[in-house]
Amino acid sequence: MPPITTYKSKTASRYMPVPPEHIGLKIMESEYYFASMKYDGHLALLHITDKGAQLFDATGDVLSVPAITDAAATIKEPMLLAGELCCFVKGKPASHREVSAALDEPEKQDLRLALFDVVEHASIHDASTPADKMLLLASISSREAIFPIAQSKYESRKDLITFFNSLTTEDEGMVVRAANGIVYKVKRSISLDLVVLGYAVASDNHNRLRDLLLGFALGNDQYQVVAKCGNGFSDSEREAWVKQLEGDAVTSDYVEVSGAKTAFVLVKPQQVVEVSCLDLIESTGDGPILKAILSHTPAQGYLRAGMASTLSLINPVFVRSRTDKQPTAEQAGTQQAYAIKSPVSLKLGSEETESTILRREVFTKATKGATAVRKFVALQTHKESSGNYAPYVVVYSDYSGGRKTPLEQELFLCGSAKEADEKIEALKTENIKKGWEATFK
């Protein structure tokens, strides 16, 4: 497992989000705190060995930023450091959006690594405290492309409130490292307008709302699932939402389950709500956050159109209905969230490779003057490295012109060619009986 993946799953993903008004309530008492301004960049790990330095991005890939790795090569002690990869414009850190563009031509941009944590060093062990790490970071003299983030030490939460209030509204927020090892992210709440895609009722009262299923409008009648929201509703609102939505239910080949293990009822995408959240995250220890894209038509309801990377909302809370907003990409789309944080792009190199047909069998049967067709196909996708596809897929197609829905298909995901073969044999045993003739094999 790449070092950055381990770091994200064990450390970075466990940062506790705290709204500014709850600094005195949700940040626990501690012997001391280190507070710093939160830089708006990309998480990166810098690995320094006696052979040189390497810079890793959030997915574990090596980044080529010579200014940073050349500067790190002058640090003679082996260590693994965590930092925020930032793009500076006119001497000041810009937003994370500039980082992605700058990485295409790093030699022409002012990319710097703002260090905030020591992951590995000879002097750091399980008993090391945040103070030990901050002391080591402070000892790393600033170089043009590498610098330790300034940390202020405080002994009370009142001091943390004062420090946060000293930040400008343009600053992304504050990071607090407590003596007990807990790390807090303090950011002003984020407000988003999202489309209502479905609802789930309470398990003990089907007339009460448990959660709304919310998504981004992508345009062309497509929507991406992004959040389940069950907080912020009054008792009367929970009952009103169910009454309002139950008449708008539509069919769907996509199933989403609530926290109570009940399926969401999907509804026409015609309402917009405002929600607030504490933070947006773009990935987990397993990689990019992938969520379903749904196509909607009045005749067919929702059809699953694939998966794509997006963001997750931390602690979404219902604020109000937005009757003044339309469920369009312009008014309830991704741009409002992606302006704050960009999703992790999928590595699409393998997705450009065409799938290989490993096996195809077709059977026909004459029935009532028509010909019915049943087809079995096994594919090797060559796309499993993207994290968006299974390595092997079996597609079963059943066509009968006399049915209300002439063409029916089933898709089965398989982990090996052997599993795909076994699935086809099982499907043939179940569906190919007397009267069917093989016409292609």
Q: Where are the domains of the chain?
A: 3-186, 190-338, 351-440
Identify the pLDDT of residue 194.
98
Instruction: Work out the pLDDT band at 385, boundaries 50, 70, 90.
Output: low
Of the candidates 377, 364, 362, 358, which has an alpha carbon nearest to the alpha carbon of residue 417? Answer: 358
- Tell me how far apart the alpha carbons of residues 127 and 431 are, in angstroms, rounded to a whole number: 63
Residue with token string 């330790």: 148
Higher-confidence position of 216 and 415: 216
Q: Using a pLDDT cut of 70, give the percent of the chain over it.
A: 92
Identify the pLDDT of residue 15.
84
Higher-confidence position of 358 and 381: 358
Identify the pLDDT of residue 108.
93
Identify the pLDDT of residue 115.
96
Tokens of 78: 């082996």
User: Average pLDDT, stretch 60-77?
Assistant: 92
Query: Is residue 267 classed as helix, strand or coil in its secondary structure?
Result: strand
- Tell me how far apart the alpha carbons of residues 168 and 159 are, in angstroms, rounded to a whole number: 17
Q: Which amino acid is at 181?
A: G
- Tell me how far apart the alpha carbons of residues 56 and 360 are, in angstroms, rounded to a whole number: 43
The H or E element containing residue 366 is strand 356-367
Instruction: Work out the pLDDT band at 349, boundaries 50, 70, 90.
Output: very low
Higher-confidence position of 224 and 16: 224
CA 212 vs CA 12, 226, 245, 266, 300: distances in Å: 28, 11, 10, 10, 21
- Tell me how far apart the alpha carbons of residues 33 and 18 are, in angstroms, rounded to a whole number: 15
**Which architecture, in CATH terms, is 190-338?**
Beta Barrel (2.40)
Instruction: Work out the pLDDT band at 388, boundaries 50, 70, 90.
Output: low
First to last CA, the chain: 42
The predicted-structure confidence for 2-19, as pLDDT tens digits, reads as follows 566 677 667 766 788 898
The predicted-structure confidence for 110-156, as pLDDT tens digits, reads as follows 999 999 999 999 999 988 999 999 999 988 878 889 999 999 999 99
Higher-confidence position of 169 and 76: 76
| pTM for this predicted structure | 0.62
Identify the pLDDT of residue 409.
83
Instruction: Work out the pLDDT band at 371, boundaries 50, 70, 90.
Output: confident
Which residues on adjacent β-strands are paired with residue 266?
A: 198
User: Average pLDDT, stretch 339-365?
Assistant: 75
Which residues on adjacent β-strands are paired with residue 46?
A: 55, 81
- In this predicted structure, which of 152-161, 199-208, 289-298, 380-389 has the lowest mean pLDDT? 380-389
User: Average pLDDT, stretch 192-214?
Assistant: 94
- In this predicted structure, which of 173-182, 206-215, 261-270, 361-370 has the lowest mean pLDDT? 361-370
**Which architecture, in CATH terms, is 3-186?**
2-Layer Sandwich (3.30)
User: Average pLDDT, stretch 174-197?
Assistant: 94
* Whether the predicted pLDDT of 353 surpasses 80: no
CA 210 vs CA 80, 232, 239, 247: distances in Å: 45, 11, 10, 17
The H or E element containing residue 218 is strand 205-219
Identify the pLDDT of residue 13.
62
- Tell me how far apart the alpha carbons of residues 165 and 174 are, in angstroms, rounded to a whole number: 10
User: Average pLDDT, stretch 367-372?
Assistant: 77
* Whether the predicted pLDDT of 198 surpasses 90: yes
Which residues on adjacent β-strands are paired with residue 408?
A: 398
* Whether the predicted pLDDT of 203 surpasses 90: no
| Cβ proximity of 273 and 320 under 8 Å | yes
Q: Order the strands of the 356-367 sheet from edge to edge.
A: 407-414, 392-399, 370-380, 356-367, 437-440
* Whether the predicted pLDDT of 440 surpasses 80: no
Identify the pLDDT of residue 396.
92
Instruction: Work out the pLDDT band at 350, boundaries 50, 70, 90.
Output: very low
Residues 6 or more apart in contact with residue 31 via CB below 8 angstroms: 155, 179, 180
Enumerate the H helices of 40-172 as residue ranges: 66-72, 96-102, 130-139, 157-166
